[in-house]
Amino acid sequence: DIQMTQSPSSLSASVGDRVTITCRASQSISSSLNWYQQKPGKAPKLLIYAASSLLSGVPSRFSGSGSGADFALTISSLQPEDCATYYCQHSYTPPITFGQGTRLEI
Amino acid sequence: QVQLQESGPGLVKPSQTLSLTCTVSGGSISSGTYYWSWIRQPAGKGLEWIGHIYTSGSTYFNPSLKGRLTISVDTSKNQFSLNLRSVTAADTAVYYCARAGLTHNFDYWGQGTLVTVSS
């Protein structure tokens, strides 16, 4: 199975900050990487697919980058509503696995 | 707008079978090319992919659960179902159903249902 490792596990930032969360795969997964945002008590929401494609309706302050085994999710100017846990997920080949999550506090 | 809704018992006894159904609305479960998936999340923990059933009916399961798992589809009711046998307390979690496209990104999710395994 492909293991996904996110860092940091948690971080605290201020409104307006630029924030980056990284995700590393245990092998190359090309661009088969998706990012989700999950708020307490809610289902995850897809933000970015194929490493860098922004889902329609997602604010442009979110961006994704990377390929191979190393990826990043960047929030260019943090907003209060971005307080959530973020997960990466590989979609290279089943079994699908998620990172352990990054809890973002504001 | 596609919507998914999980349903099933919230409490299951150890060694019994956990059965959940996901009802899809806003689109036919048999049209398009999608993976209809189950994902779970123990309280305070991360997401674990359980398995999926493809539009064609083929299935793929998480190897960690293989042998205890069945996923089936009922196109007449626009539903797909999960059966997890011989459950233990470790199977206690919020269970989500979700839709994934050919690139396995989960674009639509149910709201989730908490299943507790306890006697």
Angle at the Cα of B26 from the Cα atoms of B23 and B28, rounded to 5 degrees: 70
Nearest CA distance, B95 vs chain A (angstrom): 10
- Give the start-end residues of each E strand in chain A: 4-7, 10-12, 19-25, 33-38, 45-49, 53-54, 62-67, 70-75, 84-90, 102-105
pLDDT of A17-49, one tens digit each? Answer: 999 999 999 999 999 999 999 999 999 999 999
User: Cα dihedral sign for B118, B89, B93, B25?
Assistant: negative
The residue of chain B with its CA nearest to that of A45 is B107
Nearest CB to A98 within list B47, B107, B110: B47
Question: What's residue B103's pLDDT?
Answer: 85
Q: What is the dihedral of CA B3, B97, A4, B56, to 10 degrees?
A: -90
Q: How many CB pairs under 8 A join A and B?
A: 54
The residues pairing with A24 across neighbouring beta strands, listed in sequence order, are A5, A70
Asked if residues A104 and A19 have their Cβ atoms less than 8 Å apart, the reply is: yes
Q: What are the residue ranges of helices labelled H in B61-110?
A: none
Nearest CB to B111 within list A1, A36, A43: A43
The residue of chain A with its CA nearest to that of B43 is A41
pLDDT over threshold 90, residue A52 = yes
pLDDT over threshold 80, residue B61 = yes
Q: Which residues of A touch B112 (CB under 8 A)?
A: 43
pLDDT of B92-116, one tens digit each? Answer: 999 999 999 888 899 999 999 999 9
Nearest CB to B62 within list A34, A50, A95: A95
